[in-house]
Structure 1
Amino acid sequence: MSATRWLALLALATLVRLALAALIPLAPDEAYYRIWAFSLQGGYLDHPPMVALFIKAGMALFGDTALGIRALGSLGTGLASLMIWRATELVFPGRGVAAVLMLNATLLVGIGAVVMTPDTPLLLFWCAALWALAELSTSGDGRWWFAVGLAAGGALLSKYTGALLGLGILLWLLVERGAWRWWRDWRLYAAGGLAVAIFAPVVAWNAAHCWVSFAKQGGRAGAESAGVGLRFVGELIGGQVALATPVLFVMFVAGVAIAVQRRSVFLAAFVLPGAAIFLWQATGSRVQGNWPAILYPAAAMLAAGHLGAAWRRWRQAGIVVGLAMGVAVQIQALAAPIPLARSRDPTLARLAGWPDFAASVQRAARASGAVFVAAEEYGLAAELALHAGMPVVAMEARWAYLALPAPPPGAPGLLVRSLRRGEGAPNWPDAIPVEGELIRSRRGMEAERYRLFRVTSGTGPAPQVVLPPP
């Protein structure tokens, strides 16, 4: 495929992704990160602040809309694809298009280009670092270390797993003899200092908040029984087979294995340490399926570079199947042509029915004389803030770390609580149950049931904050 043709294909894919980003409903986590954009700071309980900066910039361009929240994700994935193409061409001439096509055909990257999570900017900066390192390795020009430092700092500012990039660089510098000379170059250490300086606001924020974010995301392993640990490992591997798509997963593993066999450390260093750490963590706690996304770019480059003509048909089949699966998931999220139950349709569970459900909550609130609605779950509160059309009070502990106003005391409200949290009493004391239930659904398929409670602001547990409306 000529460069002009594949660049046109990438531009078209980016436009399609922007259209999907504007049309597919926001997930609860995306609605939650939207709140961060109204309270920019050096860090948050869950993650560093880059996702909030991306959303803020996108909303400045396209408004407080789904497109505004997600726009930089779709554009960033297109830019990351260009960087992986260039990096692959430097290391494996003539294989860049194959690497980009395989990377974009994975569900994790293809669908991730349409949503906004901390993994979205992380993938962009990770790919930028691989590109800069490829330029550095092939040209021998030490000035590329400054680009590496900038990209590494951006990765750290996106998500804590960005630290695995530094681990990969360290492994490459230690193991590959041709890279040893960089230990004598001051620009290597300047790049490290640059990355640390970019990450400094996150450290300062944590220091001012008792290191709460570092503690929360520190992770654990080995705390569960052997049977549970094996189950989590099985979930992790099975999830990656699905998210990479089966054929491409096998090709990624084969490409990395051949690189190890040939003692080609450069790109394998950005796959193996992360894979080992995620497998280790899975022995004691669940590893979310999206976390290993950062391993995919180097794996795609290795698969494109090391798997020759004998794999060509498999590569073509994997790309076609992966793209088809991604299109099917996005069509289901957008239009739900297949009526699947919640247990079989993540798009129903996460995306479906929020505007109609919020309208029913608003009607119930007004009928009961409430002047606000409230929620214990952060995602539910964030979705209601987008759609309910009246003040929304959130009350989970994480909101204490955002600069948001408290509601006036003594105001009547309506608490919304998912039945998936169980039949127990809500965390808000003296909450009075309201008869009946509300259902969030899509075309008659039930996504979730909720109960309502009358509450009074100021009487429940702190914090209570008012979320910004659209």
Structure 2
Amino acid sequence: MQNIPIWQRRPVLAAAAIIFITTAVRLWFVASSQLDLVQDEAQYWDWTRRLQLSYYSKGPLIAWIIHLWTGVFGDTELGVRFGAVLHSCLAQMLLYYGVARVFRKPSVALWTLVIANTTPLFMVSGILMTTDSPLLVCWAMALFSLYAAGEREDAVWPYLLLGLSMALGMLAKYMMLAMFGVAVFYMLGLYRHRMLSRRFAVRAFLAMAVGTAIGFAPILIWNMQNDWVGFKHVSTLAGVTSSKPKPIIRFDRFPEYFGSQIGIITPWWFAFMIAGAWRALKLGWRGASQDGVREDRVHVRQAMLLASAFWMLWGFFIIWSFHTRIYPNWSAMSYVAGIILAATAADRGSLLLRRAAVSARKKRISFRRGCVVLGCLIFVVVHSLPYLPLPDKFNPAVRLMGWHDLGNKLDEMRHELPAPDKVFYFSDSYDVTAALAFYAPGKPITYCADFGRRMSQYDIWPGPQDKKGWDALYVCKEYPVIVPQFADMFEEYSYIEYQTMHGGRKGRSFFIVTLRNFKGVWPRQSFGAF
């Protein structure tokens, strides 16, 4: 008994240690202000100053969550990002409980935590407050609730949790609708093997429909009040509608998208994931033997659920990447099941390794340990990026550095103008506009000029037309090629290039344009571009 490792004797204790340590590291990283906000985070924070039923590009949940925690920790990076740290902790607890108790696979549950915490996708989700952060919790809860409902048809709580997760997930991101596709494929698999209960199917879809309706109601009301701009934006972004015709099939997008998927998971865990997902697909298709015992049927149920949750969403975006650009995080929810499948493959060892090994068991353990060590190294690197002596072009953290310094420079330039209290800030991109709102002195209301771009939330809110006669500071990331248009807006202007600093090293550089005496003319050149 003493020769058995503690993580096998006490899996709950090992899981608690993993969750506690990783959460503590993330909390330290966020609380110590290692990186300034990503511009999308700043935008979501800016939404909290105008709480609404929904917003142009996303549902309202992220704004509500940030509003809650900034009420506790103030308008700081910690206040904005505390929800991300909390969600990563909750997601780990859900993953462990779901796999260890609902699926009854404690060793796979531990592997699930190890793999999740050593993939860049999950690491970043635990630091940056994006819409995927609360969606991850809702998706995992819906997945396990759907399975539990099929196993315990007479129990009420799985259906209640399923409906609740659908409602909250819809408020977080429209992607939650894909759970209906998961449920359909899962139930088709059950039906194929005569394992589908009519009562379970009806109750599950009813719970999902009611939850979706509740979560979708405020989004629908807001879109009705705002010319359906949110739905138009999503359909345009997904390549369903476009002002310019697109080719049905194109091959230049796929390599970039597929490569990004390997990168956000890591090549080794990606290999385990595909191996586990393929095995689950085969098991779900083949089913249990005719005289199979209950355990065989349980394994088939789990395989069908995880295969449906992975292949349906992941496969769709792989195919759709041949039509339009797919952002790397769009398939993120498929990796909830994907990580569990990778954990299953890691727990049992891959078929390739068993065939190739001279001493199979020894080599499987060695290879898996190597994967864990590499993953832990990535965990350390991700949480040490601001300190690493990497060249700027190889350090992705550089783009998140310098906003504090930029705010100080803007404050200095504001006080050089005749009326410092009558100066407003703007940019021509929503992301810089949002960052200015957070880092400009006094956290003012900022504006986003439309010199030719797609619509954003800032176009729905009022512009600065009431600030006629004021001066302004305009900030952009590239040479301000639209300077000639300033002649219609202001009486005079001049610009400088400013190199920001962060913690003693260079951050991003910006162009800052000083503009005098606003004429009240505010551009809107690309109305209708979503």
Q: TM exceeds 0.5?
A: yes
Cα separation, 1, equivalents of 2:516 and 2:322? 42
Within the candidate set 377, 380, 383, 1:330 is matched to 383
Tell me, yes or no, if the aligned pair for 2:498 and 2:510 is still in contact at 8 Å.
Answer: yes
Cα separation, 2, equivalents of 1:69 and 1:216? 25
Q: How does 1:450-461 map to 2 (within 5 A)?
A: 450-457=511-518, 459-461=520-522
* Cα offset, 1:70, TM superposition: 1.0
Q: Residue in 1 aligned with 2:276?
A: 255
What is the root-mean-square deviation in Å for CA atoms of aligned residues?
2.6
* Cα offset, 1:315, TM superposition: 3.9
Deviates more, 1:117-126 or 1:440-449: 440-449
* Cα offset, 1:399, TM superposition: 4.0
Gaps spanning 5+ residues in structure 1: where?
A: 464-470
* Cα offset, 1:392, TM superposition: 4.7
* Cα offset, 1:146, TM superposition: 1.9
* Cα offset, 1:225, TM superposition: 5.3
Tell me, yes or no, if the aligned pair for 1:47 and 1:160 is still in contact at 8 Å.
Answer: yes
Q: Residue in 2 aligned with 1:410?
A: 468
* Cα offset, 1:269, TM superposition: 1.1
Q: Residue in 1 aligned with 2:318?
A: 279
Give CA-to-partner distance per residue, 1:202-248, whole Å, 9 cap, x none. 11111111111111011116965589x32211111111111111111
Tell me, yes or no, if the aligned pair for 1:415 and 1:454 is still in contact at 8 Å.
Answer: yes
Deviates more, 1:104-113 or 1:186-195: 186-195
SS of the residue 2:509 aligns to: strand
Q: Residue in 2 aligned with 1:320?
A: 373
Sort the Cα spacing of 1:81 and 1:179 in 2 relative to 1 into closer, same or farther, 3 A: farther
Q: Residue in 2 aligned with 1:430?
A: 489
Deviates more, 1:451-460 or 1:4-13: 451-460
Give CA-to-partner distance per residue, 1:427-457, whole Å, 9 cap, x none. 6533433143222344453523314140544
Tell me, yes or no, if the aligned pair for 2:474 and 2:513 is still in contact at 8 Å.
Answer: yes
Larger Rg belongs to = 2
Q: Residue in 2 aligned with 1:14?
A: 23
Give the ranges of 4+ consecutive aligned residues of structure 1 lying more than 6 Å apart after TM superposition.
none
SS of the residue 2:384 aligns to: helix
Sort the Cα spacing of 1:63 and 1:354 in 2 relative to 1 into closer, same or farther, 3 A: same
Sort the Cα spacing of 1:203 and 1:169 in 2 relative to 1 into closer, same or farther, 3 A: same
Give CA-to-partner distance per residue, 1:73-132, whole Å, 9 cap, x none. 111111111111122122252311111221221101112101101111111111111221
Sort the Cα spacing of 1:261 and 1:440 in 2 relative to 1 into closer, same or farther, 3 A: same
Give CA-to-partner distance per residue, 1:360-400, whole Å, 9 cap, x none. 12212321335323222222222222222154531245345
SS of the residue 1:415 aligns to: strand
Cα separation, 2, equivalents of 1:345 and 1:377? 23
Within the candidate set 220, 239, 247, 1:220 is matched to 239
SS of the residue 1:440 aligns to: strand
SS of the residue 1:278 aligns to: helix
Tell me, yes or no, if the aligned pair for 2:495 and 2:511 is still in contact at 8 Å.
Answer: no
Cα separation, 1, equivalents of 2:208 and 2:131? 23
Sort the Cα spacing of 1:299 and 1:448 in 2 relative to 1 into closer, same or farther, 3 A: same
Within the candidate set 294, 302, 305, 1:266 is matched to 305
For 2:231, the aligned partner's letter is F
Q: Residue in 1 aligned with 2:299?
A: none
* Cα offset, 1:336, TM superposition: 3.4
SS of the residue 2:391 aligns to: coil
Sort the Cα spacing of 1:187 and 1:387 in 2 relative to 1 into closer, same or farther, 3 A: closer
Give CA-to-partner distance per residue, 1:266-317, whole Å, 9 cap, x none. 1111111211221233223222222221111111112223454434544433
Sort the Cα spacing of 1:399 and 1:275 in 2 relative to 1 into closer, same or farther, 3 A: closer
Sort the Cα spacing of 1:374 and 1:403 in 2 relative to 1 into closer, same or farther, 3 A: closer
Aligned residue pairs: how many? Answer: 458
Give CA-to-partner distance per residue, 1:393-419, whole Å, 9 cap, x none. 312453456667856432422332325
Cα separation, 2, equivalents of 1:82 and 1:444? 38
Tell me, yes or no, if the aligned pair for 1:241 and 1:249 is still in contact at 8 Å.
Answer: yes
- The answer as to 2:362 corresponding to 1:303 is no
Within the candidate set 345, 349, 352, 2:395 is matched to 345
For 2:259, the aligned partner's letter is G
Cα separation, 1, equivalents of 2:465 and 2:489? 18
Gaps spanning 5+ residues in structure 2: where?
A: 1-6, 285-302, 351-363, 450-454, 525-530
Cα separation, 1, equivalents of 2:55 and 2:485? 23
Sort the Cα spacing of 1:180 and 1:406 in 2 relative to 1 into closer, same or farther, 3 A: farther
Q: Residue in 1 aligned with 2:435?
A: 383
Sort the Cα spacing of 1:184 and 1:109 in 2 relative to 1 into closer, same or farther, 3 A: closer
Q: TM-score, normalised by structure 2?
A: 0.80
Sort the Cα spacing of 1:132 and 1:186 in 2 relative to 1 into closer, same or farther, 3 A: closer
Deviates more, 1:183-192 or 1:218-227: 218-227
SS of the residue 1:164 aligns to: helix
For 2:426, the aligned partner's letter is A
Tell me, yes or no, if the aligned pair for 1:393 and 1:407 is still in contact at 8 Å.
Answer: no
Q: Residue in 2 aligned with 1:155?
A: 169
Tell me, yes or no, if the aligned pair for 2:493 and 2:516 is still in contact at 8 Å.
Answer: no
Within the candidate set 57, 71, 88, 1:46 is matched to 57
Tell me, yes or no, if the aligned pair for 1:45 and 1:401 is still in contact at 8 Å.
Answer: no
Cα separation, 2, equivalents of 1:307 and 1:339? 33
Q: Residue in 2 aligned with 1:468?
A: none
* Cα offset, 1:139, TM superposition: 3.1
Tell me, yes or no, if the aligned pair for 1:224 and 1:283 is still in contact at 8 Å.
Answer: no
Sort the Cα spacing of 1:209 and 1:55 in 2 relative to 1 into closer, same or farther, 3 A: same
Q: Residue in 1 aligned with 2:149?
A: 136
Q: How does 1:121-132 map to 2 (within 5 A)?
A: 121-132=134-145
SS of the residue 1:290 aligns to: helix
SS of the residue 1:271 aligns to: helix
* Cα offset, 1:201, TM superposition: 0.6
Cα separation, 2, equivalents of 1:435 and 1:128? 51
Q: Residue in 2 aligned with 1:204?
A: 221
Q: How does 1:25-40 map to 2 (within 5 A)?
A: 25-40=36-51
Sort the Cα spacing of 1:329 and 1:8 in 2 relative to 1 into closer, same or farther, 3 A: closer
Cα separation, 1, equivalents of 2:140 and 2:484? 44
Cα separation, 2, equivalents of 1:98 and 1:338? 32
* Cα offset, 1:462, TM superposition: 6.0
